[in-house]
Structures are given as C-alpha cells and as structure tokens.
Amino acid sequence: MADLRLALTQARYALVTSFRNPRTVVFQMAFPVILLILFNSIFTQGADETVRFSGGRITAAAYFTAGLAAYAIALSTFTNLAIGLTMQRETGQLKRLRGTPMPSWTFVAGQLMRSSVLVLIMVVALLAIGVIAFGVDLPAEHLVGLLVYVALGTATFAALGMAVTVVTTTVDSASTIGPFAVVMLSFISGVFISVDNLPNWLETVGKVFPLYHLADGLQTCLASGVGGTGLDASNVGVLAVWGLIGVSIAVRRFHWEPQAAPA
C-alpha cells in the first residue's frame, strides 16, 4: 500500500508537469478540441448527414467526435510517453531515479496513471462538446463498450509509447515519430477523413494499425441501434494484439540510461 502511494505521488507530479508543458497543453489537449469544433462545423452540413462505417451509417458529427476521441487517446498515451520518456531518459532523469530506492514499477505506474487521467479529461471533454454542441447521441446500451474501448485503447497506445522509446534514441527523433505516426495514421483510420472517402487499398493499410480499430470501435459505440454492446471481435482483437506487442517489447527492451552516444 505504501508503494501504491509512491506511484500516486509520482503520478501527481507527472500531471503537474504535463499541465505546465505548453506542448502537452496545446498539441495534446487544445488541438483535438479545436479539430472537433472545426470538423463538425465544416464537414457536417446538417444533422442528417451520415457517414458509412463498419457497422452501417452514423451521423457525421458522431463519426468525427468518436474519431477525434481516438486521436486524443493516442496523443495522451503514445505521443506523450514516447516524447516524455525519451526526454527523461536522455537527460539522465531516469538514471537518477534508478539510483534511488524507488521501485521501478511505481514509476511506470505513475506514468500510466498520468496518461489515464489525461485520457479521461480528453474523452469527457470531447464527448461533452459532441453531445451539447453537435447533438451527438450517447446510446446507453453502448456505455460499457465505450468504457472498454477507452481502457483498451489507453493500455495499447501506452504500451506502444513505451515500446517506441527503444528506437527513439534522441529527443528529436521522439518528438518527430511520436506525433507523426498518430497524425499520418489519422488520415487513413477514419479520424480526419471518413473511411468512405478512402480507396480500398488505403483502408486496408489503415486496418493493419490500432488507431483504425479504436476509432471504429468508438464510432460503433456512438451509433444508435447497431453493434449490440458496441464491442466487435476484430476491433478488440487487433487492439489487444498491438498492446501485447508493445508490452513484450517494452518489458524486454526499455532502457533507463541515455542511449545517444555522449558528445
């Protein structure tokens, strides 16, 4: 129990750090909100406008609200951890922590708690804007499914964020790969553009990656009368496989000491 408090203390300071970091506040928090307002104002001509997705048809407003929730989850976990952990490793902060009696699992737990809190803030904010400003429905029968997708997406993208630090040996490479991967995938995963508008081969490429399945899962959960609980075996399965790949790489290859050759 005392060690759980250690993890909570670290989570608290990690959150304080995130809110003081302009890159986190602007790029990872404000940006998805601005995109949601822009997309739902530009791409949806009226409440009747619908978009095709895996489960059938859904209003465009619900489609982009769910897609941008997936986008925000990936930024708060994958991008945030890739940049944050690489920066802390390359500046020697992780090495210093390793020299204290703090158990390393409490550090990882603290980082995951920080990302989870950011995810909760973002998902609640985006859904609230969708419901209040753009008339998006939150079907009660899909609430459990929605929670499962948010939790699974958070875990999967957090694991991948830790795993990618194995190849980002400098802060510059992490600051490039972290956002770039999410932005690029957003074009072919039904986040920035509906998959309706993609050529088949591009949608097939998108389906390989987890962002497509997180977006599609959340979109199903915002569509009334389709998909039962909203949970779909292929969406859940692909997310889980990517999550396990991330965990197995992170557990085996995560480094605490600077990786770039000393100057």
Partner 1 sequence: MAAIEVQGLRKSYGATEVLRGIDFEVQANEVFGFLGPNGAGKTTTIEILEGYRERSSGEVSVLGADPGRPTRAWRERIGLVLQQCELNPLLTVAETLALFSSFYPSPRPVDETLDLVGLGDRRDSRVAALSGGQRRRLDVAVALVGDPQLLFLDEPTTGFDPSARRGAWNMIERLKELGKTIFLTTHYMDEAQQLSDRVAIIRDGEIVALGPPSELAAAGEAETVVSFRLPNGTPIAALRANVDAPIRTTGGLVSLRATNPQHTLYQLTSWAEREGIQLVGLQANRPGLEDVFLELTGDGHHG
CB of 12 to partner 1, least distance (A): 9
Q: Per CB under 8 A, does 1 bind partner 1?
A: no
| Count of residues engaged in binding partner 1, rule: CB under 8 A | 23
Which residue intervals of 165-263 are DSSP H helices?
Answer: 171-187, 200-208, 210-221, 233-253
Strands 56-59 and 50-53: antiparallel
Work out whether 23 is an interface residue with partner 1 (CB under 8 A): no
| Among 96, 124, 172, 237, interactor with partner 1 by CB under 8 A | 96
Residue of 1, 42, 48, 101 interacting with partner 1 (CB under 8 A): 101
Residue 9: how many other CB atoms lie within 10 Å: 13
Please give the span between the terminal C-alpha atoms of the chain, in angstroms, as a whole number: 42
Nearer to partner 1, 93 or 224 (CB): 93
Segment interacting with partner 1 (CB under 8 A) among 17-25, 26-34, 174-182, 205-213: 17-25
Residue in 121, 130, 16 with CA at minimum distance from that of residue 72 = 121
- Is the distance from CB of 71 to CB of 186 less than 8 angstroms? yes
Interface residue with partner 1 among 9, 41, 234, 248 (CB under 8 A) is 9
Helix (H, G, I), strand (E, B) or coil at 78: helix
d(CA 166, CA 9): 26
Q: Which of 76, 85, 50, 53 is nearest to 150 (CA)?
A: 76
Task: Select from 4, 249, 8 the least CA-distant residue to 117.
Answer: 8
* 103 lines the binding site for partner 1 (CB under 8 A): yes
Q: Which one, 57 or 98, has the nearer CB to partner 1?
A: 98
- DSSP sequence for 79-141: IHHHHHHHHHHHTTHHHHHHTSS--HHHHHHHHHHHHHHHHHHHHHHHHHHHHHHH-----GG
Query: In angstroms, what is the minimal distance from the CB of 16 to partner 1?
Result: 7
Comparing CB distances to partner 1, the nearer of 81 and 136 is 81
- Residue 97 or 131: the one with the smaller Cβ distance to partner 1 is 97
By beta-carbon proximity to partner 1, the closer residue of 165 and 235 is 165
Of positions 56, 92, 228, 237, contacts partner 1 by CB under 8 A = 92
**Among 1, 100, 132, 200, contact with partner 1 (rule: CB under 8 A):** 100
Q: Angle 13-15-21 (CA atoms, 0-180°, nearest 5)?
A: 105
Out of 31, 43, 95, 229, the residue judged to bind partner 1 by CB under 8 A: 95
Q: Which member of 41, 91, 204, 234 binds partner 1 (CB under 8 A)? A: 91
Of residues 5 and 57, the one with the C-beta less far from partner 1: 5
Q: How far apart are CA 105 and CA 250, in angstroms?
A: 13
Q: Considering the complex, what minimum distance in angstroms separates the CB of residue 24 from partner 1?
A: 10
Residues that bind partner 1 (CB under 8 A): 5-6, 9-10, 13, 16-17, 20-21, 88, 91-93, 95-96, 98-103, 257, 262
